[in-house]
């Protein structure tokens, strides 16, 4: 089953249309949120799930007078989703083939700062 159109966005990569959805988990004890990124071809096929990305909520941290670094508050843009799709395909994700979820392990440094 493809991602719901109402709760996902469309992106075209290499003339193939995908849908992606981004969400976060609840904050952990350190105030970090884990980013959930799910991608699937609009025509169906296997899903791509990204794990390992972390962010914080600036508004929850605003009362802390310490230095705020922009790298602590990364935002996933369509450019990042395109990079995720390209990297997953390089690592063996076959989006057109039905099958189990393909999990791509990424960290913030790899996706946002390289």
Q: In sequence order, what DSSP letters do the residues of 4-61 get, joined into one string?
A: PGGG-EEEEETTEEEEEEEEE----TTS-EEEEEEEEETT----EEEE--EE--HHHH
Domain boundaries, the chain: 9-113
pLDDT tens per residue, range 59-113: 777 777 676 777 777 888 999 999 999 999 999 999 999 999 999 999 988 888 7
Pair of tokens at residue 41: 């071809």
Q: How confident is the model at residue 1 (pLDDT cuts 50, 70, 90)?
A: low
Query: Per residue in 5-39, pLDDT tens?
Result: 888 999 999 999 999 999 988 888 888 889 999 99
State the pLDDT confidence band at 55, using cuts at 50, 70 and 90.
Answer: confident
Model pTM score: 0.86
Identify the CA nearest to 35 among candidates 110, 114, 113, 106: 106
| DSSP conformation letters of 57-75 | -HHHHTT--SPP-GGGS--
**Three-state secondary structure call for residue 87:** helix
Residue with tokens 């990305």: 53
Nearest CA-CA partner of 50 in 109, 105, 113, 7: 105
Instruction: Taking residues 50-67, report their average pLDDT.
Output: 80
Q: Which pLDDT score is estimated for 5?
A: 81
Q: Tell me what pLDDT residue 47 has.
A: 95
């Amino acid at each position: 089953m493809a991602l719901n159109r109402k709760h996902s966005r469309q992106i075209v990569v290499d003339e193939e249309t995908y849908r992606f959805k981004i969400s976060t988990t609840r904050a952990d004890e350190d105030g970090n949120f884990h980013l959930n990124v799910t991608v699937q071809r609009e025509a169906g096929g296997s899903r791509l799930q990204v794990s390992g990305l972390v962010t914080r909520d600036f508004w929850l941290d605003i009362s802390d007078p310490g230095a705020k670094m922009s790298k602590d508050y990364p935002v996933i843009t369509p450019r990042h989703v395109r990079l995720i799709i390209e990297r997953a395909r390089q690592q063996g994700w076959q989006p057109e083939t039905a099958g189990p979820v393909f999990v791509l392990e990424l960290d913030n440094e790899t996706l946002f700062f390289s």
